[in-house]
Structure 1
Amino acid sequence: MNREELIEAVAADAGLSKTAAKAAVVSVIENIQKAVANGDKVALVGFGTFEALKTPERQGRNPQTGQPVTIAAGVRPKFTAGKGFKDAVSR
């Protein structure tokens, strides 16, 4: 399912126009991104938790040359599936 298919599903399930459903989906995604970028956790009970995970500086290896390289510290997004989501997928 891509974004457009999700918008169509939300419109059908909620009885909304595609325009209203698109605005809702885009708003949810943007607000999750903003919150996580600001260092907040976004917990959707039964679905999962979005958060920013700090990664330390570490040593890696260039696969072409085999030379060691330093990989800079950074921040990456992390999603942890909730129990309801896990149960729905495992059925």
Structure 2
Amino acid sequence: MRKPELAAAIADRTDLTRDKASEIITAITDQISAAAARGEDITLIGFGTFSIREREARDGRNPQTGAPIRISASKTVGFKAGKALKDAFR
């Protein structure tokens, strides 16, 4: 499901227009991104938790040449599904 499809589904379930639903989705994703940039965890009870995970530097290989390379440390966003989400597809 892509953002326009999600906005349409939300509009169908509420009294909102598709444009208004899309604005709300954008506002939510902007706030999640801003909180993640600040290093905060974002917990949506019943859905899941977004958290910042740190990856340590490691050795890897160039897939084209097989030459060893050094992959630098980085941060990424992880997601852990909540119980209600897990139960939805069991």
TM > 0.5: yes
Q: Kindly, what percent of the aligned residue pairs are identical?
A: 39
Q: Which runs of 5+ in 2 are unaligned?
A: none
Work out the number of aligned pairs and report it. 90
1:64 CA displacement: 2.0
Name the SS for the 1:86 alignment partner.
helix
Q: Kindly indicate whether residue 18 of structure 2 is the aligned counterpart of residue 15 of structure 1.
A: no
Scaled by the length of structure 2, the TM-score of the pair is 0.94
Structure 1: gaps spanning 5 or more residues: none
1:27 Cα deviation from its structure 2 partner: 0.4
Q: Match for residue 3 of structure 2?
A: 3
1:79 lines up with 2:76 in the alignment: no
Q: Which amino acid aligns with 1:25?
A: I
Looking at structure 2, the residues matched to 46 and 33 of structure 1 have their Cα atoms a distance apart, in angstroms, of 20
1:39-58 superposed matches below 5 A: 39-58=39-58
| Runs of 4+, deviation exceeding 6 Å | none
